[in-house]
Amino acid sequence: MFEFLQKVWLPLLIILLAFLYGHFTKNFDYWKKKGVFYFEPVFLFGNIKDRILFRKAFHQFWLDTYRSMKGHKFVGFFEGRKQTLVVLDPEVINHVCIRDFSHFVDRPTLELKYPLHQRQLLNLKGQEWKKVRSLLTPAFSSGKLKIMEPLLRQCGKQLKQYLEKATDGENGAIFDMKELFGHYTMDAIATIAFGIQTDSLQNPDSEFIKSASRLTSLTIFKRLMTFFVLLFAPRLTKYLPISFANQDVMNFLASVVKDTIRHRESSNEKRADFLQMMLDANAEAKAAQKSEDGSDRSQFVMDETTIVAQSVLFMVIGFDISSSLLTFASYELALHEEIQQRLRQEIVSALEKHGEENIYEAVQDMPLLEMVFNETLRKHPPLAKIDRACTDDYTIPDTSIVIDKGVHVCIPVLGLHYDPEYYPEPEKFIPERFSPEEKSKRSPYVFLPFGIGPRNCVASRFALLSTKVAMVYLLKNFEISICEKTQIPYKYSRFTMLLKAEKGIWLNIKPL
């Protein structure tokens, strides 16, 4: 029997292994044929072995990768067996993201089975992305953000009121800053994107808050399954329950948005929030398209699923980005007391000039606040890299190298942000790097916390405004300092692609 197994199954096993080896390595000479400098890939892993085995955090991996590539304008790379061109040169980045954007319209995305994923702006492609983006962009104009100001101001006041109670004492209290600002951000997004007034700091047990707080909570099994399917069998994603967020929570949030839409349609009630602006923009687009030739072409505007998907995306992406920005800005201000004091003085002066009820105008008159947030985004960008997909064969300017349709292009944001060629002494926190004078000395394509070009983050202005409002209420009334639980320097968490401190960011807050 054993001899039979050796004669039959052993050869079959060898053939299978040979097939798998050939399958996973057949394009490993891709960049060599192109004449592009590349890193030699490894079977199964390509060039991301340390990341796949969780030896390095996502941010640390891409920072180290950038440094090992320094000196090249672009480098051939393999994420698993997928060929990727990593672009380091600012002018090539300019071509990819702006000047020749028509060749890189899409992001590398997956065909996920859930409609709420498929219809999110992040995952839309080509003309469909362009049409939805054109409807969403006006919702984040200066005029529209000013209309949303009272809603954000209310969230800022709730943060202040909570901290007044929680820090009642001479020494203040110690907080996990990501958790604290997560509550503020959740309240801001709930009121702006879902039309719901919440106070998660005072009422953490409401159904909406308890559900939304589990949005990115996935089991270890689901995380690992998602990770390995993406790496080894991405075509299976449309058949498997792959999701980057808790699907039950997404369905709950979708039902909240649908109920809000029904209520507003039946009552003719309107509210100055993102959801209403989407509904209004959609109605205007329908009316305009119908009047052009007298026919109803409403299929070219957003259906209800697409509208709901954008609100859910707002929560998925906005929650983490805004709370992280506030967390790491507070961390830097706690470490740099002199900058914190100067910023507090600027906030007080601007509020005296404009009044707290006109906080939108006040934050426009706070240049140091703008520089502090920009320097925070430089040192602590939410994403370590951004990606584009080549949608049409493209020849890199001043070369004969062709990027083939379907190839991914990666821009290592964190590496650019820590490159001493652009930012001398990059480990230091120096807000004045972002003064008008200093900004004029370097390329605009080496500061990319929200991407750049037509496919940048559509809600970046909202994210900055909401974080500025929170910081105004915090520094005007409280002092931030390090404590015995503050990890200096902090270490990146190895188990997430988004920026997260391994042991959290703990700071002391006490009233002035």
Distance, CA of 160 to CA of 511 (rounded, Å): 10
Distance, CA of 391 to CA of 411 (rounded, Å): 17
Q: Are 446 and 417 in contact (CB under 8 A)?
A: yes
Q: How far apart are the first and last CA of the chain?
A: 83
Q: Are 412 and 65 in contact (CB under 8 A)?
A: yes
Q: At what angle do helices 460-477 and 177-193 cross, to 10 degrees?
A: 130
Instruction: Tell me the three state secondary structure of residue 395.
Output: strand
Q: Are 378 and 423 in contact (CB under 8 A)?
A: yes
What are the residues whose beta carbons fall under 8 Å from the beta carbon of 381, sequence distance 6 or more? 413, 414, 417, 448, 449, 499
Known binding residue 483? Answer is: no
Q: Residue 502, Cβ neighbours under 10 Å: how many?
A: 12
Distance, CA of 156 to CA of 285 (rounded, Å): 34
Q: Are 119 and 113 in contact (CB under 8 A)?
A: no
Q: Which amino acid is at 158?
A: Q
The CA-based angle 140-144-146, given to 5 degrees, is: 115
What are the residues whose beta carbons fall under 8 Å from the beta carbon of 182, sequence distance 6 or more? 213, 319, 323
Q: Which residues are annotated as a binding site for heme?
A: 457
Q: Which residues are annotated as a binding site?
A: 457
